[in-house]
Amino acid sequence: MHVVTVIGNRPQFVKAAAVSRALRAEHDELLVHTGQHHDDELSTVFVEELGVPRPERELGIHGGTNTEQTARMLAALGPLLATERPDVLLVYGDTNSTLAGGLAAAQARIPVAHVEAGMRSFDRAMPEELNRVLTDHLSDLLLCPSETAVANLEHEQAAGRIELVGDVMVDVALLFQPRALADTASLHRAGVEPGGYVLVTAHRAGNVDDPGRLRLLVDLLLALPVPAVLPLHPRTRARLEAAGWLAELEAAPDVRLQPPLGYLEFTSLLGHARAVLTASGGVQKEAYLAGVPCVTMRDTTEWVETVAAGWNVLVDLDATAAVAALDRRPPAKRPPLYGDGRAGPRVVAALAGVPAAR
């Protein structure tokens, strides 16, 4: 089978780490990196660390509005798919790269397999939600991380074949967590002790693009009762600089700004944290897997099971609610929610059942 996989941003490199090697053991894969995340620290670091194959094609497309970026990706992917004529096109998650890959293939009548299908926040104001819904409804094979995702797709009467495979990020977390936890160099560098800090990520457009929301985020960080370690995404850094608030955070003694980190360093900081404060879907899930309470700076989440299990609290950008949530004791139980760490091989097996190109 000839598979073209389209990835473009940080979590997609992590997800590809669970699938690409297993895929290449049985099939022929061409990995296309759209360039959506072009900084090395958000992309190539994972090639080296997690063993993701080096992308065979780099489209170098980044910047612009979501619409422009998606359009440029579509324009580049059309000719590429016409030449490659893969048996299946594989995409992950909910980014512009996901939608562009899926749509370019569907229009060329190439079957589409979507990993992380069926996730919903039910908030159409999120560009990611539009990308998810549209990709699911043009896909032939819908590979779901959870039973909730399966139920969402059944409810929407999605046309593709639905399979519950588990979450590919769980594969990666289970594989790398022990090694990551054993190395605490990233804690020393940030000047924190195990259990004595909150690990923060904050880069969702809805939290940083609007200066009013960004200010709420800064105030929330300044209100935290324990040191906060914050690997700063380039988007957030740029927005803070533009608003003139970066220096304020740099000067705050209990906010430890870091560059974006590699997966192992980040996973070590996450596993040893007292709690995680984030708006990232992947990080909410990784906190659950690591048994670290999570406070989510959104008012919706796709990872609803983590909230129902009592390990995740949604606070949006409300500082008082965030401080109260950080004070909660974690529940006694942490049932396995997102699979057994063998989602990658199940994705590969499912591809064999994809309908032939039309």
| Residues with a known catalytic role | 203
Residues whose CB is less than 8 angstroms from the CB of residue 317 and which lie 6 or more positions away in sequence, other chains included: 207, 213, 216, 217, 220, 297
87/286 with CB nearer ligand UDP: 286
Report d(CA 160, CA 226) in Å as an integer. 47
What torsion do the CA atoms of 325, 202, 92, 308 make, to the nearest 10 degrees? Answer: 10
111/166 with CB nearer ligand UDP: 166
Asked if 282 interacts with ligand UDP (CB under 6 A), we say yes
Shortest spacing between CB 159 and ligand UDP, in angstroms: 26
Contact 250, 257 (CB under 8 A): yes
139/296 with CB nearer ligand UDP: 296
3-state DSSP assignment of residue 327:
coil
Asked if 127 interacts with ligand UDP (CB under 6 A), we say no
Report d(CA 187, CA 229) in Å as an integer. 9
How many CB atoms are closer than 10 A to CB 235?
16
From the list 6-14, 83-91, 213-221, 309-317, the region that binds ligand UDP by CB under 6 A is 6-14
Residue 269: enclosing H or E segment and its boundaries? helix 263-271
Report d(CA 127, CA 96) in Å as an integer. 8
From the list 8-16, 146-154, 315-323, 349-357, the region that binds ligand UDP by CB under 6 A is 8-16
26/39 with CB nearer ligand UDP: 39
The number of angstroms, rounded, from the C-alpha of 220 to the middle of its chain's C-alpha atoms is: 23
Residue appearing with tokens 């749509």:
103
Among 3, 5, 6, 11, binds ligand UDP (CB under 6 A): 11
Residue appearing with tokens 């022990």:
178
46/86 with CB nearer ligand UDP: 46
Q: Which of residues 237-276 bind ligand UDP (CB under 6 A)?
A: 260-261, 263, 266-267
111/262 with CB nearer ligand UDP: 262
Q: Which residue has its beta carbon closest to ligand UDP?
A: 280
Among 35, 111, 281, 344, binds ligand UDP (CB under 6 A): 281
Which of 209, 163, 176, 270 shows the shortest CA–CA distance to 66?
Answer: 209
Asked if 296 interacts with ligand UDP (CB under 6 A), we say no
Q: Which of residues 184-223 bind ligand UDP (CB under 6 A)?
A: 201
The alpha carbons of the chain give a radius of gyration, in whole angstroms, of 20
Shortest spacing between CB 42 and ligand UDP, in angstroms: 7
Report d(CA 60, CA 33) in Å as an integer. 8
Among 97, 186, 280, 296, binds ligand UDP (CB under 6 A): 280
Site size for ligand UDP, by CB under 6 A?
15
Hey, what are 15's tokens?
């997800």
Shortest spacing between CB 79 and ligand UDP, in angstroms: 28
Interface ranges with ligand UDP (CB under 6 A): 10-11, 14, 201, 231, 260-261, 263, 266-267, 280-283, 286
